[in-house]
């Protein structure tokens, strides 16, 4: 379970998160949606225990985020966080050494599904392939919690579709708690059990995906468009 | 254990600039020590060497840590159950280890060279010894140049070829100049090498005092690094 209460985070004079609260039960998938600069990445970094915060309470499986929660949390950052001079296999071996929940059979499966090879050097890969590597590293773990920061952004449709296939396969195969941040809602919304709409660090709309669809009579994608672009009065 | 894994990664994929800087510092200090004969001079130099070693270790560690932040690879490391402090300590240990190995190699090369030189008259058929000495005298600058080009490639990728070429030409000119000066003594590579290295030969071998300075500098670097991280961490 992930619990966030009145979370406040500042970057200098800028308030990145302002009183964010939510509770995500074990085994649920939360879609964290919002435009760029809405605070999605900051929130995920805090839950991953990478970033500090000013006020509020954050608990991941009952623990304060940090080194101890990273033993059971798999975080896939938005930015390209791979070593250019290393191969994919080097990255895999490095991560394997730190965690006990590495699943080698899933690793093999993902190598095939994402069309990757351990001997490929990171510097020889395109952006879409580097994203695939990050997905491979994050999803080869049988983690209790997955934090995916914009796994679909800035990549070609083929990579996006392969990554979505991998995500669907993994998350339907066993119970894990997932937070999936994105501004590409259309392709990912079927995965979401819960949805939080963030804007300038504030939660402007939240609820179960089915309830929101029922309440507004629209898809999450259409609600997203209305909330942020066309009819802000929906909220 | 986590620090050891990070340390191993640093050694495997770390660039050589840390070792080069440490070697340069060692050589300069050794050279100066060879020049100073008064006890007061030694004392002053000891204080200087402590400060210089500290600055060298700290700067090289700072550079490699900053690169992790700039290139985003810090997020890759922080996906694992490690703290920023552990990452920093592993980097400092790697810098010190690499520096010590390179300084030791430099020491062994100069030691082996001068032992051979002193024994030249006693070696029967000293042509062989002379050939060996010439090879050492030539290979040492070549190895240094190799390291230099490596370092240049890291800091100035774009003009690395040009800078290395210009440096080689400069060194050749200096070499020619020294040959002129040494001409009265016979312009063999052995004499040139002797001119360069005889101070180093006496002093480059790491004394207990140097070693303690080295450890203390490392410890101070850890403290300073952690303070810097606490102060300027913008994650």
Which two three-digit tokens encode residue B82?
């490690």
Q: What is the pLDDT of residue B145?
A: 53
What does the alpha-carbon distance between residue B27 and residue B131 come to, in Å, rounded to a whole number? 25
Q: What is the pLDDT of residue A122?
A: 93
Q: What is the pLDDT of residue B55?
A: 72
Q: What is the mean pLDDT of residues A160-181?
A: 85
Shortest Cα–Cα distance, A213 to chain B (Å): 34
A32 pLDDT exceeds 90?
yes
Q: What is the pLDDT of residue B30?
A: 54
What does the alpha-carbon distance between residue B13 and residue A152 come to, in Å, rounded to a whole number? 29
DSSP B148: H
Closest Cα in chain B to A83: B73
Q: What is the mean pLDDT of residues A179-190?
A: 88
Q: What is the pLDDT of residue A159?
A: 81
Q: Which residue has the tokens 């303690």?
A: B212
Shortest Cα–Cα distance, B64 to chain A (Å): 13
Contact B38/A at CB under 8 A: no
Contact B82/A at CB under 8 A: yes
User: A132 or B128, which is more confident?
Assistant: A132
- H or E stretch at A206: strand A202-208
Helix (H, G, I), strand (E, B) or coil at A204: strand
Q: What is the pLDDT of residue B187?
A: 46
Mutation for B interface: A13, A81, A101, most B CBs within 10 A? A81
What does the alpha-carbon distance between residue B224 and residue B230 come to, in Å, rounded to a whole number? 10
Q: What is the pLDDT of residue A203?
A: 93
List, in order, residues 6 or more apart from B166 with CB less than 8 Å away: none
Q: How far apart are the first and last CA of chain A?
A: 27
CATH of the domain at A177: 3.40.50.300
Spell out the domain ranges in chain B.
2-232
Average pLDDT of chain B? 63
DSSP A141: B
Q: What is the pLDDT of residues A73-117, one digit of tens each?
A: 999 998 888 998 889 999 999 999 999 999 999 999 999 988 999
- Give the confidence band of A169 by pLDDT, cuts at 50, 70, 90: confident
Which two three-digit tokens encode residue B119?
């024994």
The crossing angle, in degrees rounded to 10, of helices B189-203 and B17-35 is 90
Contacts of B79 in chain A (CB under 8 A): 48, 70, 74-77, 81, 95, 137-138
Q: Which residue has the tokens 């997203």?
A: A224
ipTM > 0.90 for the complex: no
What does the alpha-carbon distance between residue B92 and residue B65 come to, in Å, rounded to a whole number? 10
Q: What is the pLDDT of residues B69-125, one digit of tens each?
A: 888 898 999 889 998 888 888 888 887 777 666 655 555 554 444 444 444 454 444
What does the alpha-carbon distance between residue A148 and residue A164 come to, in Å, rounded to a whole number? 12
Which two three-digit tokens encode residue B58?
């700290």
Q: What is the pLDDT of residue B206?
A: 39
Contacts of B76 in chain A (CB under 8 A): 77, 81-83, 91
Q: What is the mean pLDDT of residues A8-31?
A: 92
Q: What is the pLDDT of residue B118?
A: 45
Gyration radius (Cα) of chain B, Å: 21
What does the alpha-carbon distance between residue A203 and residue A181 come to, in Å, rounded to a whole number? 14
Q: What is the pLDDT of residue A85?
A: 85
CB–CB of B78 and A48 under 8 A? yes
Give chain A's domain count.
1
Residue A140 half-sphere exposure toward CB, CA atoms < 13 A: 28
- Give the confidence band of A235 by pLDDT, cuts at 50, 70, 90: very low
pLDDT below 50 — which residues of chain B? Answer: 38-40, 110-120, 122-125, 187, 190, 194-195, 197-207
A170 pLDDT exceeds 60?
yes
Q: What is the mean pLDDT of residues A125-145?
A: 92
Q: What is the pLDDT of residues A36-51, one digit of tens each?
A: 889 999 999 999 999 9
Helix (H, G, I), strand (E, B) or coil at B25: helix
Closest Cα in chain B to A49: B78
Domain range for residue A71?
Answer: 2-234
Assess contact for A30 and A196: CB atoms under 8 A.
yes
Q: What is the pLDDT of residue B165?
A: 60
Q: What is the pLDDT of residue A73?
A: 95
Contacts of A127 in chain B (CB under 8 A): none
- B128-137's contacts with Cβ under 8 Å and 24+ in sequence apart are B130/B190, B133/B189, B133/B190, B133/B193, B134/B188, B134/B189, B134/B190, B136/B109, B136/B112, B136/B193, B137/B113, B137/B189, B137/B190, B137/B192, B137/B193
CB–CB of A82 and B73 under 8 A? yes
CB–CB of A98 and B2 under 8 A? yes
Average pLDDT of chain A? 89
Tally helices (H) and strands (E) across chain B.
Answer: 9, 0
Closest Cα in chain A to B2: A98
């Amino acid at each position: 379970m992930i619990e966030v209460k009145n979370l406040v985070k500042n970057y200098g004079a800028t308030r990145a998160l302002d009183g964010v609260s939510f509770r995500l039960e074990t085994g649920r998938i939360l879609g964290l949606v919002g435009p760029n600069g809405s605070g999605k990445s900051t929130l995920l970094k805090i839950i991953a225990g990478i970033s500090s915060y000013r006020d509020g309470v954050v608990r991941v499986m009952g623990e304060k985020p940090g080194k101890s929660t990273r033993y059971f949390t798999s975080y896939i950052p938005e930015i390209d966080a791979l070593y250019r001079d290393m191969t994919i296999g080097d990255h895999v071996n490095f991560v394997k050494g730190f965690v006990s929940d590495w699943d080698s059979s899933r690793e093999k499966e993902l190598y095939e599904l994402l069309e990757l090879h351990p001997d490929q050097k990171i510097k020889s890969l395109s952006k879409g392939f580097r994203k695939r590597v990050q997905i491979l590293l994050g999803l080869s773990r049988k983690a209790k919690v997955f934090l995916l920061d914009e796994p679909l952004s800035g990549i070609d449709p083929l990579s996006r579709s392969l990554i979505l296939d991998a995500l669907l396969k993994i998350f339907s195969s066993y119970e894990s708690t997932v937070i999936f941040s994105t501004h590409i809602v259309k392709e990912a919304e079927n995965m979401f059990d819960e949805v939080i709409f963030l804007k300038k660090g504030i939660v402007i709309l939240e609820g179960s995906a089915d309830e929101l669809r029922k309440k507004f009579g629209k898809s999450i994608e259409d609600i997203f468009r209305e909330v942020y672009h066309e009819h802000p009065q929906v909220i | 254990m986590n620090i050891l894994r990070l340390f191993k990664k640093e050694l495997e994929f770390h660039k050589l600039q840390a070792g080069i800087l440490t070697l340069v510092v060692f050589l300069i200090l050794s050279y100066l020590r060879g020049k100073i004969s008064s006890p007061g001079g030694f004392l002053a130099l000891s204080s200087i060497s402590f400060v210089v070693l500290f600055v060298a270790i700290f700067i090289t560690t700072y550079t490699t840590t900053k690169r992790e932040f700039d290139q985003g690879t810090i997020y890759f490391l922080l996906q694992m159950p490690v703290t920023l402090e552990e990452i920093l300590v592993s980097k400092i240990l790697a810098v010190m280890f690499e520096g010590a190995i390179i300084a030791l190699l430099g020491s062994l090369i100069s030691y082996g060279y001068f032992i051979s030189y002193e024994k030249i008259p006693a070696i029967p058929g000293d042509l062989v010894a002379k050939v060996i000495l010439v090879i050492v005298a030539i290979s040492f600058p070549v190895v240094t140049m190799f390291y230099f080009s490596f370092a240049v490639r890291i800091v100035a990728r774009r003009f690395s070829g040009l800078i290395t070429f210009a440096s080689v030409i400069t060194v050749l000119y200096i070499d020619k100049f020294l040959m002129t000066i040494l001409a009265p003594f016979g312009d063999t590579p052995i004499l040139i090498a002797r001119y360069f290295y005889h101070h180093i030969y006496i002093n480059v071998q790491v004394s207990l005092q140097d070693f303690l300075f080295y450890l203390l500098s490392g410890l101070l670097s850890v403290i300073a690094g952690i303070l810097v991280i606490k102060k300027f961490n913008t994650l």
